[in-house]
Structures are given as C-alpha cells and as structure tokens.
Amino acid sequence: NPGKKWLLLTAVDEDARPASNMEAPPIWFVANIPLSSASQLHRARGDVVVPYQGPNIQDDYIHRIFFRVFEQPQKVPPHMLNDWR
C-alpha cells in the first residue's frame, strides 16, 4: 500500500501466559522500522521497545513463538511507546 511506510515487529511466546485470561508479554518489540527494511528485519533499525529476550520456558511443554509484523501508516510517537502495556 502506498500510504504505509512503517513496520512494527513483535515476538510473543503464546504458551508463556501468566494466567489463562492474560496476554503473554512480548519477548521482542520493535516499532518504527522503515518499510525499506522489510526484506531484512533481522538487521532493521527501529525503536526497540522490548529488547530481544528469547523464550524463558518454565515447564516441559512445547512453546510456540509467534513473530508478527504490522504495517503502520505513520511512526508511533515516542510517548506512546513508553506506555505500550
């Protein structure tokens, strides 16, 4: 889409929910990645909200890590990144 210029990347261990009715916290969250970096997200520059922490598995079950990339029409303002929860 021509109007979309920024990406937001999240990684979440969906099986590491603190309680069944709560969302799992991100293990990685980067905002304001230029769309031109889409083919190399592992090298992309953006605003790191949650540095990559890797999974912290506390049980003997299989864990699914979901990486999601969202297109944003504009940069997320810094004051909104400080209060992402």
Cβ contacts of 31 within 8 Å, gap of 6 or more: 6, 8, 9, 46, 47, 49, 72, 75, 76, 81
Tens-level pLDDT at each residue, the chain (85 residues): 455 689 999 999 988 877 778 888 899 999 999 988 878 877 778 999 999 988 888 888 889 999 999 999 899 998 888 776 6
pTM of the full structure: 0.79
CA–CA separation, 27 vs 12, rounded Å?
Answer: 6
With CA atoms as reference, report the closest residue to 35 among 3, 6, 8, 10: 6
What tokens appear for 66 in the block? 């979901």
pLDDT at 66: 94
